[in-house]
Amino acid sequence: MAYSTGRLTRNLVRSLGPGRHGDGNGLYLIVDPSGARRWIVRVTVKGQRNRMGKPMRTDFGLGGADVVTLNVARDRALEYRRLARQGLNPKFNQDVVVPCFEEVARTVHVERLPTWKNSKHAQQWINTLAEYALPKIGRMPVSDIGQPEVLQVLSPIWTAKHETARRVAQRMKAVLDVARSRGHREGENPVTVVIDGRVLPRVKAKVKHHSAMHWRDVPPFFAAVTQQPGTAAKALAMTCLTGCRTSEVLQATWEEFDFEQLVWTIPEDRTKTGAEHRVPLTEQMIAVVEPLKALRSDCVFEGQMRHKPLSNMSMLMLLRRMQTDNITVHGFRSTFRDWASEEANVPREVAEMSLGHKVGNEVERAYARSDLLQKRRELMERWCSHVASKC
């Protein structure tokens, strides 16, 4: 880790690279390799000594630099040093400024960035808090947030937007749990009490199914798709043939395709289940993607930017241009599943594995390690023949 000293400026706080950057008087800006920025202050508490009998230095966190400004960090560092000179440990002194909810929330968000599969999920995490929680409790010290404050955030959306409210509650709970673990609050997490049925009413979640086309209507639709120009039509055709999720298709790269073994392997970091998913390639699938090799792109379905995939909205917009009512891209997975049950009459596990679903509990999966590739290949060949029967 790099180290630098000297007075900091607002521009330096935003632009300095990884390392420990001193501002003087024990205040440091820590920039992690991930880009996360936070403040610490190093103080020597009067009267405290280590095993060697020397004065003991201790580091205390002052919050994330994206929320705590340079001037606020200096003020907090000054307060910590004042307490230390009096022989008071800032960790146990109640006069130390407690971070506000927004500070802790943004710090938790940055710290968890490496754990999310993609930037979209990471942004959604903080966006829901920014929209519903931060305007009401963002500037409150985390130590002061109790059931009334949690209720203030959740009550307006608990029944009208229950799924959103549930996610907001989960994220608020995570923020307050972290605040407690760092000594900024005590007692039971108020979110737990509010949402467990003792305060807010129990709401039965409504399952919203994606609109799906009947499997008998797919052949003429697919024939129409193949007549559409552009890469989005190719991606939609591949989605119909494979039954894969939108992101799995759009983010496909050529290195995932083995045209000798006729297998498309979607790596675990791109699947919803977190497990590798092998898709048996059929002649209809190959006919869709093979012409795209001429683009010499890293992505199979390249978007407007070179070597970048199509946007998530590209296939949906194509459906709208084709004036296909009440149909979603994700719905083709349901269409395939209905066909597999009603027409193909295959075992449940073959159909479910074809969609990349986990089958059985953990014990069953531990003993049944085969992904039934050959049986799924036979099923996909039958499905693709049905889909392309009007071409």
Q: Is 185 helix (H, G, I), strand (E, B) or coil?
A: coil
Tokens of 288: 């869709």
User: Does residue 264 sit in the same domain as residue 149?
Assistant: no
User: Does residue 336 sit in the same domain as residue 253?
Assistant: yes
Q: What pLDDT, on the 0 to 100 scale, is given for residue 351?
A: 92
CATH of the domain at 141: 1.10.150.130
pTM of the model: 0.56
- Asked if 210 contacts 204 with a C-beta cutoff of 8 angstroms, the reply is no
Q: What is the mean pLDDT of residues 289-302?
A: 94
Q: What pLDDT, on the 0 to 100 scale, is given for residue 368?
A: 53
Q: What pLDDT, on the 0 to 100 scale, is given for residue 259?
A: 95
pLDDT in tens, 304-326: 889 999 998 999 999 989 988 77
Q: What pLDDT, on the 0 to 100 scale, is given for residue 206?
A: 57
d(CA 80, CA 41): 8
d(CA 190, CA 137): 14
Residue 222 exposure: Cα atoms within 13 Å on the Cβ side: 27
User: Does residue 247 sit in the same domain as residue 373?
Assistant: yes
- Chain centroid to Cα 251, Å, comes to 16
pLDDT in tens, 238-260: 999 999 999 999 999 999 999 99
Residue 13 placed within a domain: yes
Count of beta carbons in the 10 Å neighbourhood of residue 122: 17
| Contacts of residue 70, Cβ cutoff 8 Å, sequence gap at least 6 | 8, 9, 10, 13, 23
CATH of the domain at 39: 3.30.160.390
- By the 10 Å C-beta count (0-12 exposed, 13-18 middle, 19+ buried), 140 is classed as middle
User: Does residue 379 sit in the same domain as residue 234?
Assistant: yes
Tokens of 237: 């055709």
Residue 188 per-residue DSSP state? S
d(CA 279, CA 355): 9
Q: At what angle do helices 101-112 and 162-181 cross, to 10 degrees?
A: 90
Q: Confidence band (pLDDT; 50, 70, 90) for 87?
A: confident
Whose tokens are 């998913």? That residue is: 277
Q: What pLDDT, on the 0 to 100 scale, is given for residue 360?
A: 65
- Chain centroid to Cα 70, Å, comes to 30
User: Does residue 156 sit in the same domain as residue 249?
Assistant: no
User: Does residue 132 sit in the same domain as residue 265?
Assistant: no
> What order of strands is seen across the sheet that includes strand 277-280?
257-258, 263-266, 277-280
Residue 48 placed within a domain: yes
> Does 214 have pLDDT greater than 60?
yes
> Does 380 have pLDDT greater than 60?
yes
- Asked if 104 contacts 142 with a C-beta cutoff of 8 angstroms, the reply is yes
Q: What pLDDT, on the 0 to 100 scale, is given for residue 209?
A: 55
| CA distances for 376 relative to 223, 283, 357, angstroms | 24, 15, 13
Domain count across the chain: 3
User: Does residue 86 sit in the same domain as residue 109?
Assistant: no
Domain that holds residue 338: 215-387
Strand 19-24 to 2-4 pairing: parallel
Kindly state the percentage of the chain with pLDDT values over 90.
Answer: 46
Phi and psi, residue 35, nearest 5°: 100, -10
CATH of the domain at 335: 1.10.443.10
Q: What is the mean pLDDT of residues 165-180?
A: 92
- Asked if 153 contacts 170 with a C-beta cutoff of 8 angstroms, the reply is no
Apex 263 CA angle, 332 and 354, nearest 5: 35
pLDDT in tens, 127-161: 999 999 999 998 888 888 999 999 999 999 998 88
The candidate with the shortest Cα–Cα distance to 224, out of 133, 103, 311, 319, is: 319
* Structural domain ending residue among the three candidates 49, 79, 97: 97
Residue 366 placed within a domain: yes
d(CA 300, CA 18): 35
User: Does residue 362 sit in the same domain as residue 287?
Assistant: yes
Phi and psi, residue 50, nearest 5°: -85, -175
